[in-house]
Each structure stands twice: as structure tokens, then as C-alpha cells.
Chain A
Amino acid sequence: MTDKYISRPEEFVLLAVWKLKDNAYGITIRKAIQEMTGKYWSIGAIYVPLERLEKKGLLTSTNSDPSPERGGRRKRLFRITSAGMKELDALHRINSVLWKGYPALTPDENK
């Protein structure tokens, strides 16, 4: 657990990697993010938070075996670490506190 919280894109990516379990690599992560947020990120844009997350020790990555449909290139498979899990827990908690009672915060014309 770090002192600072991770950024929103990092949060999305971290969540996506956790959801994807054993199959988290560039394309699937991008797709998961699209499903979650409705937005397409460029493939390059995915790797920026991935790199930061791995640096912070929230993710680890390994190379897969080369596959033919990728022009013989290997995939980089990402897995969430226990630190990453803790981060997600913390984020979840914070988020639910943050958003608690959200509808009540909308301006009430009757008041």
C-alpha cells in the first residue's frame, strides 16, 4: 500500500487485470476497459498505466509463448499482486465512502 492513491486510469487498468485473471494482456485489458467505461483507449495508452502499476508493485508480468496470429510475438500477461489486491480493497472502500448518499447531493428544487 502506497501513501498516494493511484490515478483513475490506473484504477481502471488494475480492475481490468483483476477481472481478467489469467488472460490479462494488452488487447483483453483494452476490451475490458471499453466494456467498463464505454471508451476505447489506444493500445499505447494502456501500457502507460500498466508500466506505472508494475513499477509500484501492484502488478507483475510474464511473457507467454509466441502465438502465430501475433506475427510470432509473445504476449505480456499481467497478474495482480497481493499489494494490488490490497490497493483494490482500499480503493473500493474509499469509493463507497466517497459516493455514499450521492443522489441526495443533487440540488433539490423543493428546498
Chain B
Amino acid sequence: MTSIKKKNTGHRNRFTGSLLGKLLPEKYREAFIGDLLESYEARAADRRISAKIWLFFQLLSSFSSLLRKNFTGGVAMFKSYFLMAFRNLKKHRAYTLINVFGLAIGLSAAILILLYLQFEISYDRFHENADSVYRVCIRNIREGRLESESYVYTPPIGPDMKKDFPEVEDYVRMSTLRTAYLLVDNEAFNVDRISYVSPSLFEVFSFKLKAGNSLRALADPFTIVLSEQTAERIFGTKDPIGKTIQIGPEDLYRVTGVVENPPPNSTLQFNALISFATLYARPIMGMDWNGGNQIITYVKLGKNTTASSVEKKFPDFLWRNINEKIAVYGWKNEAYLQPLKKIHFYFDESSRIALVNFYTFSAVAVFILLIACINFVNLTTARGSRRAREVGIRKVIGAHRGNLIRQFLGESVVMTLLAFSVGIGAAFILTPTYNQLLDKELNPVKLLNLTSIFGLLLLILLVGVASGIHPAFYLSSFQPVKTLKGVFDSARSKKKFRNTLVVFQFVISVTLIVCTLLIRNQLRYINKVELGYNKENMVVIPLEDQNLRTRTEEVRTSLLSLPGTVQATASSDIPYHGFTSNGYIPEGYTNSIMIHALDADEHFLETYGIELVQGRNFSNEFATDKDAYLINETLARQLEWDDPLGKTIRRNGDREVIGVVKDFQFATLHNTVEPLLITNTPWRNEFYYLSIKINTDDIPGTLGSIEKVFKRFSPLIPFEYFFLDDAFDRVYRSEERFERIFQYFSILAICIALLGLFSLSAYTAQQKSKEIGIRKVLGATVPQILSLFSRETIILIIVANILACPIAFFVIQKWLDQFAYRSSISPLAFALAFVGSMAAAFATISYQSLKAALKKPADELRSE
């Protein structure tokens, strides 16, 4: 419009004005905008804002009245398009049903996956300071090589960073999570997820205190803040503030606050928080720079600072505090900051699973939707060519090409709309089942935000137009005379296009089948990996009672007198947990190396069935065994010790190696076996677990008598135990869950693809009905016709398989990377997928082709 270019008072609404002008005849446009501006200026002279508001409403109301004038005819036309669309869809019910149903399934699957993805993304974003909070992570470098990466570090790094870096506004220290018995009025409550934290937690993170003063709540030693859930569990409806809780034999804690339960999408989960100051009053680890690596440190940076500006100062900072001292051993620590928002996917070793799942499911969602949309496009285009005659008649009657285009687009948009409503409804209905499967609580209502609604509408339009655009433009270009005569292009190029899409669908489906099979393979394989120890019939009792921890030998002796028990051992940890690691200096080495350490009594090897390959086990007969080590084969190999016996390893003084045990897997199977040493002397003489090997004769009876023994030693604390193999399986449960969901979605994808194939074959059967009739007249047999029919599809499937193989191979190799123990990628999976897809495709099309082949040729050829 020329009027836009002209200089004027300048208002954004000018554009809207000119848009409105388009609804008016040419000759009025300029005047109309002029009127608007004149009135606006008159008003704006004294009250600018109210003039703007006036103008806005002017535009709005003008728009509505002008629109009404222009479109009373238009609306009627649209109505007719929609009506025709509905009538057409009703006339071809089977086609409509398959098309709508396929797209709806695909869509509801995509919505369900989207729900999960949205939940994953939402992690930790509810914190107000989410953008400025970082976690301090550490890389352990040895001789220039990355040895390990860790998110736990020594206690002083937080306060020292705040002291030295002006960028750091605040810090929060959190210990790793613990489990303890909370004693209140002679009643014990087993509470897990307990952490020692700094009082600044409530300022840096957005966890709200329900009761208590957030500034003072965790300031003093021996104060504790309970989560709402824990408070209710222990105190019921009573006010917990000021109450006393006993933890351990003597320590009394005062309840100073109740905090809201952390939301499910918080990476930080806790049931109780103990003031960090308590750790200084009653240390459970060294609290200086050489202390225990058990503290997670979060820092909050100031407004105008970046993580990299802090990271630049780390080398100097760490040199002063730690690297200077450990450099002689060849060690170096490096630090970096990890944004809070990324922590969910990088929290610890197991977070990798979340990340892998996230990417996998995003891909699956896109693929399922793609397959469903391709179906839709394929079916609509295929059927479109059957409507050539309709187009011809419409044209003869006087339809313009534009009318036809609008009609076809209208039809496909109506169909997509229908499919979307069905799909969304289905997603809502399926959510509870899906949540059960995922072990999450996802709420589909959360998806109803502006962005996703807009995205969905866009998708509807896109799919509708994409599938309608081809028939709309292609069919409308037919010459009526030709179409009415029945002579028109048989659309060979369109067929090529359809075939390409079919191949694409099957490439995805076959890839999914192969991946499902191989994932199953791997999970089976993991279950069979030789662990090197015996986990069957092993009852494990965590020793929560401090009193028991030092008296394990007594308990053990009483337990072994029971008829059902075979052997028992006390240890600081149990396999599959993964043991802590410390730095040690082995003989002949000048630098320290990281070695996992386990404290266990002399019965550990026998109870767990771990073989001794060299030397001897700990023994009561040698007083010096209290200061001796057993090492595993991996450590011996790593140290290049051919004869490890008699060699020494130093931590607090030199200690002698008296035996070598066969490697056993003490972490999850995501890791390989790492260096390990076993000592006979636990930290502060406390063992944390008692493992009891029992026989299978009378398990409930044995468990009952074990409980009686425990009650004798600690009457107050509830008896709790678990079977080691159960616990072990639980570690892989999330992977199994992942596998199951993946399997379901793959099956769904294949079904949708087959649905498409089914209706496409129906279409071809109809198109070729005359050809088949003639062939039969000329003497073709039913098998011949069948083979003629399926040949093309079979070729497509073969091509799809060939293309899918390398893709599946690549994808699964990436997935297997997360495991230390990998099953081989079996060619059987590929063969199975090939045969499976072929059989499924063949079965799908043979229904239609058989139907066509068995028809009497006379019926087909009679009608013209």
C-alpha cells in the first residue's frame, strides 16, 4: 500500500489500518486510514495513551464490521466446502476410519512421549535462581590423563570460593544422601535421603519452608529440618517445631523447620536436612581440603558474571589449595561449573540413562508421527486419483480450479482435525497406564500451554495441507474431457513418490525392530554376566543401629547357630553398590593412585564365594592381619606386580598385601571391574552391613529367627532386610522399563506402517481389478496374480531392510556404549527383523490381493 510509505505520525497500528483498508474498495482506503489518523491525532493531542487504546478498539470494531461485509458470501462458501468434505468422508467410511485412526494413534503416541520429554526438560527449572546456580564438578587428572570425574568434593571449596571470587554470591554445601533411624519418643523411623546442608539452601534454591525461619533454620549444629511428608510421618498432625529427634546412640537434634516436599521434577530430593554445622561438631569425615570427597557444592553467581569467568580462576585457586600438595604424586584436580538446569541429565553415573532415554524417545516420537503422517499423505494422494471423475464433473458444472483446490485442502484439514481430536482424547485416556509404565506422574493438562497448543495447531495445518496439497493441485489440473472419458495420466511419478515414502516408513520400522531386539539381547546378557560372587539366597541387613555396628562378631556367632543360616559376614559395603575409592601409594610408586576400598571381616570371601588366587585370607591367628590388605587381580595387574604378596601399600602407614582375590564385579555392569583392596579394619570399627547366606529349606522360618536374634541386640529398631539379588535386579529395572516402553512404541510404529500398507494395497487392488480380470481370462492362476501383486511391495521392503541395517547398527552401537559389558550385535536380530517385516507386509497385502485374485473376472470386466 502506498499509504504505508508516506510519512506520518508513526504508529504501529498503521499496518493494521492498512490491512483493514484492504477489506475496503480501493478508492476508500486512503480516506479510511486518513480518518483514523485524524481522529487519533485529535485525541492524542492531550491524552496519548487513551488515544492509543481508542485506536486499538477502533481497529478491532472496524475489522469486525468490515469482515462481516466481505465474508458473508465467503463463510457460506467455506461452509459448503466443509459440508462436502464431511459428506465425502462419510461416503468412504473405511478409508476415513483407517486414515483418521492411523493418524490418531500416531498422534496420541507422540503426545504421550512429548509429555515425558516435557517433564524431563522441566527438571530444576522451578528454582528462581536456576540460571545463576552452578554445581562445582571436579576432574581428577593423573599424569595428564583424566582419571575420574566427580561431583562430590572436599568441604572447604564452597566457602573458599566465596572468599576468593567476588563473582560468587553464595554457596550451598550438601553431603551425599544418607539413611538413618530417627528416634522420637522411643519410636524409630527409618528415614532415607538425609543430607547435611548449609542454611543458604533456602535462599539459593526455591525450596519453601512451611514452618520455621528460613534464615535461622539450619544455622546451628544439631538442628534438623523435615520435609512435609517426613514431618507428617513422624509427628502426625502435631507441630514438629522445637521437638527433639535422636539419631545414633546419643546425638539429639532439634527440629527447626518443615520444608515443602521437593517437587518430582527436582533433582535434589530429600526427606530431612541436617545443618551443615553439625558436621563440624561431629565429623564423619575430614573437613579440610584433604578431607572426604562427599560434599556437593553449589554456587550462585552474581548477576553480571558468567561461569567461564569463574572457571578461568580455578587453576590458580586449586593450585594454592590442593594441587600444590598433590602435584608430587602426579595428581591434579580441575574444576568446572555445571549449570543447575543441566544437572538432571548429568547428575551422576545413572543420569546418563535419563539422557539416553530422552534422546531415544524424542527420536521415536518424531518417527511415529512421521510414519502416521506419511500414511495420511499416501492414502489421500492414492485415493485422490480415483476422484478424477468427480473433478471432471465439477469442472464441467463450472468449478474454478481455486474452488477445487480449496475443496481438497478443506477435506484433508477436516480429516486431520478429526484425527487430532481423537488422538488427544486417546492420549488423555491412556495417561494413567502410561504413568504406571513409566513410574512417573505426568499430567497431560500440563501440555495445554500456549506454545504447545500453537504447535499442535501448526502441526494440524501442516499435515492437513501437506496431504491435501498434492491432490488439490494435481487433480484440479485435470482436463475435464479427459477425466470424463476415463483417459488420464495413470500417475507413474506419483507412484514413485508414494513408494519412496513407503520405503522410508519401513526403514524406520525395521530400525526400531532391530533396536528393540538388540536392547533385549543386551539386557539378557547383562543378567547372565559372571559377577564373580554369589548373590543368590543372600540376606542383607543394613546396620542402622550404631550399637550393632561394632558388635557384628557377636551377632554373627548367634546367627550362625540358627539352623537355616550357612555363613555370614560383616562389611562396610555390599557388592553392586560400588565401593568408595581413596588415594593410596603402592610400594615402588611415588604418586598415589585411586583404589576402591572395602572393609570386611575374614568371612567375606567365603560368604560371597569369592575365590582367592594367591596368598591367604585374613585370619584371627595373625594379629598383624588387622593391618593387612587383600587386593584384586585388576589392581595386581595395574601395578604390574607379578608377585604381590609381601608388597606394601601406604595410606596411613605401610600395610602388607597378604592375598589376591579373583576379580568380582562390585559396581553395576555399566562399569568394568576396577582396582580394589580389602582391609580387615573398618573405619571407627563400624561395619554397615551384615550379609547372611541362608539355605532354601525354610526361608520364612529362617528370616523369623534372624529377626529374633536382631531384636535381642537392638530391641528398639525395626528389623529390615533385603535379598541381594532383588536389590541387584532393581538397578536394572529402569533399563527394563525403558526397554518395555521402547518395545511398545516400536510395535505401534510398525502397526501404523502396516495399516498404511493395508489401505494402499486396497487401493492398488481396486486400480488393478481390470488388469487382473483380463489376466484371469487369459489364463493366469491365482498364485501368479498373487505374486504379481506382492512383487512390488516385497521389493520395497527389501530395500527398506537394506537401508535400515546400517542405521540400526550405528544407533545400537551408540546405545551399547554406556555399558562396560556389551553383548555382541547379533546378525540374528537383523535377520529376524527382515523376516518379520517381510511376513507382516506380505500378510497385510495378501488379504487385499487374494480378494482381488479370487474375484470372478466377469464381474470386473462387465462394468465400464
Contacts and interface: CB of A to CB of B under 8 A. Distances in A.
A71 B41 CA distance: 9
Interface stretch (A73-81, A93-101, A102-110): A73-81
Contact of B24 (A47, A63, A69): A47
A72 B7 contact: yes
B495 interface: no
A80 B458 CA distance: 49
Interface in B46-97: 58, 61-63, 65-66, 69
B68 to A, nearest CB: 8
A73 B24 contact: no
Contacts of A25: 31, 35
Contact of A70 (B27, B37, B58): B37
A71 B34 contact: yes
Contacts of B121: none
Contacts of A69: 37-38, 41-42
Interface stretch (A12-20, A37-45, A83-91): A37-45
Nearest to A61: B27
Interface centre among B6, B23, B28, B34 (most CB of A within 10 A): B34
Contacts of A32: none
B35 A71 contact: no
Nearest to A66: B34
B718 to A, nearest CB: 76
Contacts of B7: 71-72
Interface in A12-35: 25-27, 30
A50 interface: yes
Given A42-B61, A51-B25, A71 B37 contact: yes
Contact of B30 (A43, A45, A48, A73): A73
A72 B8 contact: yes
A72 B5 CA distance: 11
Given A25-B35, A71-B37, A47 B6 contact: no
B1 to A, nearest CB: 11
Contact of B31 (A42, A63, A72): A63
B763 interface: no
B25 A74 contact: no
B24 A43 contact: no
Interface string A46-58: 0110110000000
A61 B29 CA distance: 13
A73 B62 contact: no
Contact of A48 (B6, B8, B31, B66): B66
Contact of B61 (A44, A47, A70): A44
B33 interface: yes
Nearest to A55: B25
Contacts of B8: 71-73
B34 A73 contact: yes
B31 A44 contact: no
B32 interface: yes
A104 B109 CA distance: 72
Contacts of A51: 24-25, 28, 69
B61 A73 contact: no
A76 B26 CA distance: 12
A69 B41 CA distance: 7
Contacts of B69: 48, 51
Contacts of A30: 35
Contact of A44 (B6, B27, B41, B63): B63
Given A51-B25, A72-B7, A72-B8, A44 B34 contact: no
A72 B36 CA distance: 12
Nearest to B39: A27
Interface residues of B, number: 30
Contacts of B28: 47, 50-51, 61, 76
Given A72-B6, A72-B7, A73-B6, A43 B41 contact: no
Contact of B3 (A43, A47, A73, A76): A73
Nearest to B24: A47
Contacts of B31: 25-26, 63, 73-76
B32 A42 contact: no
B436 interface: no
B20 interface: yes
B37 A42 contact: no
Nearest to B10: A71
Contact of A71 (B9, B25, B62, B66): B9
B252 to A, nearest CB: 76
A99 B576 CA distance: 99
A43 B62 contact: yes
A72 to B, nearest CB: 5
B283 to A, nearest CB: 78
B65 A44 contact: yes
A51 B3 CA distance: 20
Nearest to B8: A71
A48 B41 CA distance: 23
A61 B24 CA distance: 15
A34 B6 CA distance: 31
Given A42-B58, A43-B58, A44-B20, A73 B33 contact: yes
A71 B6 contact: yes
A20 to B, nearest CB: 14
A26 B37 contact: no
A75 B20 CA distance: 17
A47 B34 contact: no
Contacts of B66: 44-45, 47-48
Contact of A27 (B35, B61, B63): B35
Given A42-B65, A44-B20, A44-B32, A73 B37 contact: yes
A14 B36 CA distance: 21
Contacts of B25: 51
Contacts of B65: 42, 44-45, 48
Interface string B794-828: 00000000000000000000000000000000000
Nearest to B6: A72
A30 B42 CA distance: 15
Contacts of A74: 30-31, 34
Nearest to B25: A51
Contacts of A50: 28
Contacts of A72: 6-8
Contacts of B33: 71, 73
B35 A43 contact: yes
Nearest to B38: A70
B135 to A, nearest CB: 58
A43 B32 CA distance: 7
Contact of B36 (A43, A61, A75, A76): A43
A45 B34 contact: no
B31 to A, nearest CB: 3
Nearest to A78: B31
A26 B32 contact: yes
A48 B72 CA distance: 13
B161 to A, nearest CB: 60
Nearest to B66: A44
A63 B31 CA distance: 8
A103 to B, nearest CB: 34
Nearest to B69: A48
Nearest to B42: A69
A3 B39 CA distance: 37
Given A47-B66, A71-B6, A71-B9, A76 B27 contact: yes
A97 B39 CA distance: 39
Interface centre among B20, B33, B65 (most CB of A within 10 A): B65
Task: Return the 4 tightest CB-CB contacts between A and B, nearest first.
Answer: A44-B62, A71-B8, A73-B34, A76-B31
7 contacts: A27-B35, A43-B62, A44-B32, A44-B58, A48-B69, A51-B24, A73-B6
Interface of B: 3, 6-9, 20, 23-25, 27-28, 30-39, 41-42, 58, 61-63, 65-66, 69
Interface of A: 25-27, 30, 42-45, 47-48, 50-51, 61, 63, 69-76
Given A75-B35, A76-B30, 11 more contacts: A25-B31, A26-B35, A27-B38, A44-B32, A45-B62, A48-B66, A71-B6, A71-B34, A72-B8, A73-B34, A74-B31
